[in-house]
Structure 1
Amino acid sequence: MERLASIDVCSGAGGLALGLERAGFDPVLLLDNKPIACETLRRNRPSWNILEMDLGDFDPTMHRQAYGVDLLSAGLPRVKSSATTKRVETGLELRLMKATVRLAHTIQPKALLVENVPDLVASPEFEEVRGYMESELACLEYRFHWFVLNAADFGVPQDRKQGVLVALRDRPYDGFQPPTPTVTRHMTVGEALLPSMSARGWTGAEEWAAQANRVAPTLVGGSDNRGGADLGLTGTKRAWAQMGINGAALSDEVPGLHGIQESDASGSPLRKLTVEQTATLQSFPRDWIFAGKKTARYRQIGHASPPPVGEALGRAVADALRSSASI
């Protein structure tokens, strides 16, 4: 089947782009302003055209291949509600949202895909943001699908809800259907991590896996400006503790024969996850390389869109585009 062309902005570690690649999209370029994220992308896909720059500085007239692509995709930094508008990052997040819409104005892709917080879809807190996006795109005759997906419904062992906007024109719009779940039973943390937890012969791995009998809480990368590599706020850490996991930090190694992790000096009876295990919970392939030190690698993983969700979205968009082309 003929491959489709895409542009991916705010690409991060490449979770959305990887899923779209599996769905039949080849990126003519990817863009991110973080050097560490661009290094990750280059290590895994040397053939991809990766631009390290701020989205607001991107001039598509210098990249003629960007015009008229099949899809513009954006896994944007999470916008915040009005309750947190005093945060410095909030202005940046909204600026990138608006820059994505302006880019769509310029290059006029056949479809636009934006992935963000679930509340973006219907919450009154984001009514102004939705209104801006729709009014700016409606003059180009785009029509809109707003919906929420949970990554757990697509085989990701994590309760991770994502708000999605898909905008298309006329015939593709009529043929688009939001993705339906690809699994009938959610994968648990124990099932996903048992192979790695037992890799060094830990005798308690099977018992631990039986206890970790639910999906993971949402992984969060945290702010680039503060904090270290932990698994979330107090309530989230309590949920991890119920599965035998110490969410206060990450380990450098999986448990050994007697469950000991040499890098863990906390004295806690709970086990810590490794960065590689968090990548498994985000459903990245085992051979996907994350650049940087431990905290930088974990933040890239926590901020990423799980590839299976990107693949499901990509297939839904591709089906709509191909069906309209055949009419």
Structure 2
Amino acid sequence: MSGLRFVDVCSGAGGLALGLEQAGFDPVLLLDNKPVACETLHMNRPQWNVLQMDLLDFVPDEHPHTYDVDLLSAGLPRVKSSATAARVETDEEEQLLRAAVLLAHSIQPRAMILENVPGLVDAAAFEPLREFVRKELEHLGYRLHWFVLNAADFGVPQDRKQGVVVALKERYSDFFRPPLRTVDEHLSVGRALRHSMAARGWSGAEAWAAQATAVAPTLVGGSDNRGGADLGPTGTKNAWARMGVNGGALADEAPGPEADGCPGLIKITDAQAALLQSFPADWLFAGRKTARYRQIGHASPPPVGKALGAAVAEALRV
């Protein structure tokens, strides 16, 4: 089998799709409902076929080139239990997950990758969703593999756990193995950002990097209904502070000579946040600073997508 093809929905800034491309898959269609995300995809991969549309409105019959692809992938908005989110928000996220699963009825991919919160794999609150996924996909002849990956185990300088469902048609399922970690030592924030912190001549960059020895907390993109960009809730901000970073806001640029000798916490830029998600340094993000950061925070790190794509490709090529 050559030339593996995939359809990616809820594509966002393209982290999962980029990883799958690196694993040897060619996109037939990428779908997202946000104009700024679609602009990001066009900026970086003008040859990709990007459709701006809500997944709930997508009709595969109107896009027959999506039929019978090798892989359907979805880095979906994070589902939440009803105990931690407003019911309307929970409903919207669950609807998208269910819609992605139902696409298998028409597209009939040989494999599916659904990526979401770790709790989707085994938390009791999500058992109704798991049962829906099992019922719909097993009825179509898929066998399911549920597992949790931590992006830090794949060279991403971030503690980011992701719940993953990989479904393969029965003839391929026994050949699938969840990806194994690709690094023996986690990449720290200091090592990941040392060069960018020194780029404008800040003399404190080396000392800062030497004490920022942990991986980053999970980046969160937040809600479109919230205010400006920050690095997360109070506990997350405290973890950033221990690495000398002010998690309450983003900087417009890396610190320069004006920061020499100034005590206090420094801020990271949205470009540095992208490095913490392991996007290539030349991957561009459309929009203003907050919009760029939200795309980055919501993204799936490309190295995880690459590892998942490689594992699926190995099973499909047997």
Q: Same fold (TM over 0.5)?
A: yes
* Structure 1 position 201, deviation (Å): 1.5
Aligned to 1:218: 218
Aligned to 1:242: 242
- Deviation string 1:152-178 (CA, Å, 9 cap, x unpaired) is 000000000000000011221000000
Tell me, yes or no, if structure 1 residue 78 matches structure 2 residue 90.
no
* Structure 1 position 105, deviation (Å): 1.1
2:297 counterpart (277, 302, 311)? 302
In structure 2, the CA distance between the partners of 1:293 and 1:75, relative to structure 1 (3 Å rule), is same
Q: Is the 8 A contact 2:82 2:90 kept in 1?
A: no
Aligned to 1:45: 45
Q: Is the 8 A contact 2:15 2:305 kept in 1?
A: yes
CA distance in 2, matches of 1:248, 1:314: 35
CA distance in 2, matches of 1:182, 1:69: 28
CA distance in 1, matches of 2:177, 2:308: 10
The answer to which of 81-90 and 291-300 deviates more is 81-90
CA distance in 2, matches of 1:26, 1:268: 49
Aligned to 1:274: 269
Partner amino acid for 1:4?
L
CA distance in 2, matches of 1:103, 1:130: 16
| Secondary structure of 2:174 counterpart | helix
- Deviation string 1:282-308 (CA, Å, 9 cap, x unpaired) is 000011110000000000000000000
CA distance in 1, matches of 2:43, 2:9: 18
The answer to which of 168-177 and 15-24 deviates more is 168-177
* Structure 1 position 3, deviation (Å): 2.1
Aligned to 1:283: 278
- Deviation string 1:177-211 (CA, Å, 9 cap, x unpaired) is 00000000000000000000011111111110011
CA distance in 2, matches of 1:84, 1:191: 35
TM-score under structure 2 length normalisation: 0.98
**RMSD across aligned positions (CA):** 1.4
Query: How many residues get paired?
Result: 318
Q: What does residue range 28-107 of structure 1 map to in structure 2 within 5 Å?
A: 28-107=28-107
In structure 2, the CA distance between the partners of 1:268 and 1:87, relative to structure 1 (3 Å rule), is farther
Q: Is the 8 A contact 1:204 1:258 kept in 2?
A: no
CA distance in 2, matches of 1:242, 1:208: 11
Q: Is the 8 A contact 1:157 1:186 kept in 2?
A: yes
Q: What does residue range 80-229 of structure 1 map to in structure 2 within 5 Å?
A: 80-229=80-229
CA distance in 2, matches of 1:40, 1:60: 24
Aligned to 2:309: 314
CA distance in 1, matches of 2:243, 2:258: 18
| Secondary structure of 1:163 counterpart | strand
CA distance in 2, matches of 1:257, 1:269: 15
Q: Which runs of 5+ in 1 are unaligned?
A: 261-266
CA distance in 2, matches of 1:86, 1:300: 22
In structure 2, the CA distance between the partners of 1:104 and 1:268, relative to structure 1 (3 Å rule), is farther
- Deviation string 1:60-79 (CA, Å, 9 cap, x unpaired) is 11111111100000000000
- Deviation string 1:195-253 (CA, Å, 9 cap, x unpaired) is 00011111111110011001000000000111211000001000000000000000001
| Secondary structure of 1:248 counterpart | coil
Partner amino acid for 1:288?
W
| Secondary structure of 1:96 counterpart | helix
Partner amino acid for 1:313?
L
The answer to which of 78-87 and 61-70 deviates more is 78-87
CA distance in 2, matches of 1:165, 1:227: 32
| Secondary structure of 2:144 counterpart | strand
| Secondary structure of 2:83 counterpart | helix
| Secondary structure of 2:257 counterpart | coil
Identity of aligned residues (%): 69
Partner amino acid for 1:21?
E
Q: Is the 8 A contact 1:237 1:248 kept in 2?
A: yes
CA distance in 2, matches of 1:152, 1:306: 10
* Structure 1 position 59, deviation (Å): 1.0
CA distance in 2, matches of 1:191, 1:236: 20
| Secondary structure of 1:152 counterpart | helix
Q: Is the 8 A contact 2:60 2:66 kept in 1?
A: yes
* Structure 1 position 85, deviation (Å): 4.7
Partner amino acid for 1:311?
K
Partner amino acid for 1:298?
Y
CA distance in 1, matches of 2:86, 2:75: 23
